[in-house]
Structure 1
Amino acid sequence: MLAVPYFLSPAEGISKCEAIAIQRGERLLLSLKTWVFGKPKKPKSPSLVSQWDRDNYLGIDATANIRGKIAVRSGDENALVVGEKSKFSGTIVVSGNKNRILIGSNVDFRGDILVKGDGQTVSIGDHSTTVGVYILCQEGCDVSIGRRCMFSREIEVRTTDAHSVIDRSTGNRLNKPASVAIGDHVWVGLGSIINKGSNIPADSIVGARSFVNGTFEEAGVILAGTPARVVKRNITWNRSRKANFTVEEMDSWRS
C-alpha cells in the first residue's frame, strides 16, 4: 500500500494526509512551491513544472526532492502525488483526463513516465528505487509497481505496443493492450522489458535483458530469457552483499 492517499480533490487530500502539499489550478513554472495548510514552502530543490495549469491536482510532500519536468499536455482532473522523503528525477507527461500517478514514500525514481488516455493509474510503492526506467501507460490500462522494488537502468514497462498488429483475414487487432502488475520486492535487471499484460509475483527477480510478456503466479522465482520463463524457484534477494543470511534478514522486506 502507498503511504500517500488516493484523492480526488485538494480538500479531500488535506483531510486525509496532513503532510501532503497540494497546489491546484495555477500555472507553475521554473520554481515549484508546495503548500501545507496554506503556507508556502520551497522544496529541497527546484523543479521545472509546466502546463499543470488546468483543473488538475498536484500533491507533493514538503520533504520530497523533485527535479525534472512535470506536464499535462491536455486534459483535466489528473492527479500527481509524491510521498514523504521521495526523490524524483526525470519527466512526467500526461495527455488525458482523470489519470493518477501515485509515488509512495521513500521512493527514489529516476526515469520517465508517459500517460496517454483517460482514467489510468501508475502507482509506485514505498521504498522502491529505479536507476533508469521508462513507463508507458496507455489505452485504458494501469501500471502497478509494489513496495521495496529495485529496478536497474534501461528498463521499459509498457501497457501497449503503441501500434496495431492486424489479422488480415478478420481485420481484428491481435496485440491488445493490458495492465502491468509488479509485486512487492521485485528486482528487475538491466535492459529488461516488462510488456503489456505482465504479472510478476512478489519476491522475484527478472534477469538482465529479459522480455516479460505473460502472467506468472509463483512468488520467489527468477524469470529470464526472451520470452521470460521461470529458471529458478525458492529464491529471495537482498540489497546487501554477504555470504550468508538469516531467515529474519531474508524476510526483512516484508516489514
Structure 2
Amino acid sequence: MRRSTLLAIGILVVVLVVAGLWMYHSHGLYEKSYRSEYYYHVTLRTDSILYNVTLYVPVPLIEDESRIGDAIVTGKASIPAEWDCSIVETEHGTMLKISVEKIVPEFRSLPVPLEPGEEPKAVPEENVSDAFSEDTPVLIPNEIIVQLPVDHEISTKNPLGNEPLLSPMYNVTRVTCDFPDGQDTRVNCSSYESRIYADYAAASPHAEVSIYIDLNGRNSWWVYGWSSNGYRDRIITTFTGEQHGWHVASGELLAGEGRYGWL
C-alpha cells in the first residue's frame, strides 16, 4: 500500500513538473510572439471612367488624432500612384481627402486553368480592358492600405472611447450581431451613420462607384498555432452617376471578436 502511494505521488510530481514546464514554455512563446496592429483599407471600384475626383472619406481618430492618417501623408501606406492624399478639416471633422485627375477602371481576364501536364508560365497571359466584357469580367479595385504596428495591447473588447474608430460617427446604436457572431455573447455589434463627400464627373450617367472603408484593430500571438482577438469598423456606400456633395453612409462596429486569454 505504501509503495502504491509513493508511486502515485511520484507520478503526480512528474505530471506537475511536466505541466509547469509546458506552461512556462507556452507563456514564453506567447510573450515573444505577441503583437498588436491596426489595418486600414479603403477600396474604390468603378465600372466607368471618373474625372476630376475629390473624395472626403472617414479616417480613424482617437482624441482628434490619427496615427493612420499620419502614416498616409508621410508615405507609409500603399496608395495608387496617381492619387494625392491629405488629412483635412471638414464640416464633419477630420477626414482623408483623395484627389485624382482621372480614375480609369481596369478589367482583367479570368485565370486560364492549366491542362494536364502543362507547366505554369512565368508571366501568365492576361487580357486587360477599361470596360467589362466576356473576355475581361474581373474588376480590379483601387486601394489604400495601411498596416500600423503598435507597442501596446489594443482594447478590442471596448474600442469606443479607447481606440481609433472611423470618423465621423453619428447615431451609434447597439444591434444584434449577424451570423456567425450572433450566438457569441462576448461580441458586441453597433450600427451608425457616417459621411462621405464625393465630387466627380463620370463618362457614363449610369456609372456604378462603390467605396468600402475598413478598420481592423487586432492582437495576435502564437502558442503552437496562431490566435487573435480584434475589433472591426467598416463603412460601405455606392453611388450611381456623377456626384457633387455629401452623402450619408452606413457603418458597422464589431468588438470582442476572437480569443481572450493566451491558453
What interval of TM-score do these two structures reach, taking the shorter chain for normalisation? under 0.3
Q: So what's the TM-score if we normalise by structure 2?
A: 0.16
Whose radius of gyration is greater, 1 or 2? 2
Q: So what's the TM-score if we normalise by structure 1?
A: 0.16
Q: Which has the higher helix share?
A: 2
Q: Which has the higher strand share?
A: 2
Q: Which has the higher contact order (CA 8 A, sep 6+)?
A: 2
